[in-house]
Structure 1
Amino acid sequence: MKTSQIAAGAAFICSVVFLTALSAANAESEPSLRMPKPQRVKPCSKPQIKLEKLPALGPLTEVIEPNILEAFKNRMRRMKQDGSYDRRFAENKNKIRRALEAPEPAVELSSAQALRVWDVTPSIPERLPEKMLRESRQIELPRIPRALLFIDGSDEQNLTAAKRLIRTLPDARVVLTSGSIAETSERLNRRIFFDQGSSLVRTFGIRQVPALLFNGETGPQCAEFPADEPELVLPYLRP
């Protein structure tokens, strides 16, 4: 082999070694150019908790009461076996149906024997300052959209009075203070409402029926009138 070829081979080998060393040095100086070696994920280990049993602070008594859930299941099982469950279910269903058809009135109202008319006034707390009390008394109450006729649906005279008054006030709403909603609706041939809990009669101060809430000359008014003379309230109605 010629000397020139040997020298050329040696020079090539030296250049390769030099380039390899240079690339390694650059890789060490720029770590961002290197691909990170994937790390092996270690599973989370549960912390070792040592349970400590504390000593009793006093005498212990065994629980002798029966399990409430098991006692309830056993009772229901016995009720279904002897038929009392079905009987009680039917009684409650009938009770709810009767309460919907004829709710129980919270306040028993007597029949009106004479005409009584009064202005409906707002309920203002007396704790307000004197200035606010004077200003609130000067506020004019808004007109009610339609008259409310309060009657006892179980009283025949109240039903007759309602029929006579509805001819003059066809838009009036009939509100029962007692009686059957379905039967009164059929008798008067119109939709019937019920004063649940007697909240309306308490609010307007109604003590007897029939009574009418209407728009008077000075604002909303309420009147109690005899069932056989419903026309007594007509002169107070605002045209």
Structure 2
Amino acid sequence: MKKLTFCLLFLSSSVHAKDLGIQGTTFEIRERNLLEVIQTRLKGLETEGKLDDLQKDIQQRVSYKALNPTRLNSVHRTSEERSYLYDPTLIVEEDIKDHRGRIIHQKGTHINPLDMVSWGVPLVLLDGDDKEQIHWALKNHKDAKLVLIAGKPLDLSERHKKRFYFDQGGMLIKKFKIQQVPARISQKGKHLLIEEVLLEDKVQ
């Protein structure tokens, strides 16, 4: 409480600091523009003949990352089947207005996106390094979107002539609290149905 009171007093316009005058030599404070720093550095590399090498290095790293995404080790193959519903309802934290200032949704309003749009085709998450999971997904989910938590999406896309995605940063895994794969996300009424599938009990 004392610290809070001090901060409030410090920020208050009614509190004035005592002018102690100038003590010693003073210097103008000037922050270098970040863009200027970058441009100066690039010009230096160009002068030294190293700019091309830098560009090639960046291209190689980006290419390698695209071909070899980081595996999500927090997820393992399904050992015990599990399913649960996910409610996508959002609570508006502040009034949402249109371009004329008219309120569209008031603060506190509950909005379920599934009231306005459909989830669409199922989304299947799987381990791209597991041949059984790939075989199961291609055989049983021809119209689904296949999202990897491990493996090489570009290689698999070329091999099977079907587009594979990758859950970069584990966004989907974290959002839907998925612990095992293969997992399937589909719409059920106004909820999403999350199913962690046990392959041994399914038709391969």
- TM-score, length of structure 1 as denominator length: 0.52
The total of aligned residue pairs comes to 158
CA shift for structure 1 position 103? 2.8
Query: 1:194 maps to which residue?
Result: 166
Query: 2:80 maps to which residue?
Result: 114
Does the 8 Å contact 1:161/1:228 carry over to 2? no
Aligned identity (percent) is 21
Does the 8 Å contact 2:88/2:113 carry over to 1? no
CA shift for structure 1 position 150? 0.7
Query: 2:24 and 2:86 mapped to 1: Cα distance?
Result: 68
Query: 2:149 maps to which residue?
Result: 177
Structure 2 stretches lacking a partner, 5+ long: 1-21, 28-36, 95-106
Query: 2:193 maps to which residue?
Result: 221
Asked which structure has the greater CA Rg, the reply is 1
Does the 8 Å contact 1:157/1:228 carry over to 2? no
Between Structure 1 and Structure 2, which shows a larger proportion of helix residues? 1
Residue identity matched to 1:161: W
The partner residue of 1:165 within 135, 140, 156 is 140
Query: 2:47 maps to which residue?
Result: 77
Residue identity matched to 2:149: T
Residue identity matched to 1:77: T
CA shift for structure 1 position 193? 2.1
CA shift for structure 1 position 148? 0.6
Between Structure 1 and Structure 2, which shows a larger proportion of strand residues? 2
Query: 1:14 maps to which residue?
Result: none
Per the alignment, in what secondary structure is the counterpart of residue 124 of structure 2? Answer: strand
Change (3 A) 1:71 1:207: closer
The partner residue of 2:70 within 82, 85, 104 is 104
Q: Is structure 2 residue 119 aligned with structure 1 residue 144?
A: yes
Does the 8 Å contact 1:105/1:198 carry over to 2? no
CA shift for structure 1 position 211? 0.4
CA shift for structure 1 position 201? 1.8
Residue identity matched to 2:148: L
Alpha-carbon RMSD? 3.8
Does the 8 Å contact 1:153/1:159 carry over to 2? yes
Residue identity matched to 2:186: F
Structure 1 stretches lacking a partner, 5+ long: 1-55, 62-67, 233-239
- TM-score, length of structure 2 as denominator length: 0.60
Query: 1:91 and 1:121 mapped to 2: Cα distance?
Result: 44
Query: 2:201 and 2:159 mapped to 1: Cα distance?
Result: 20
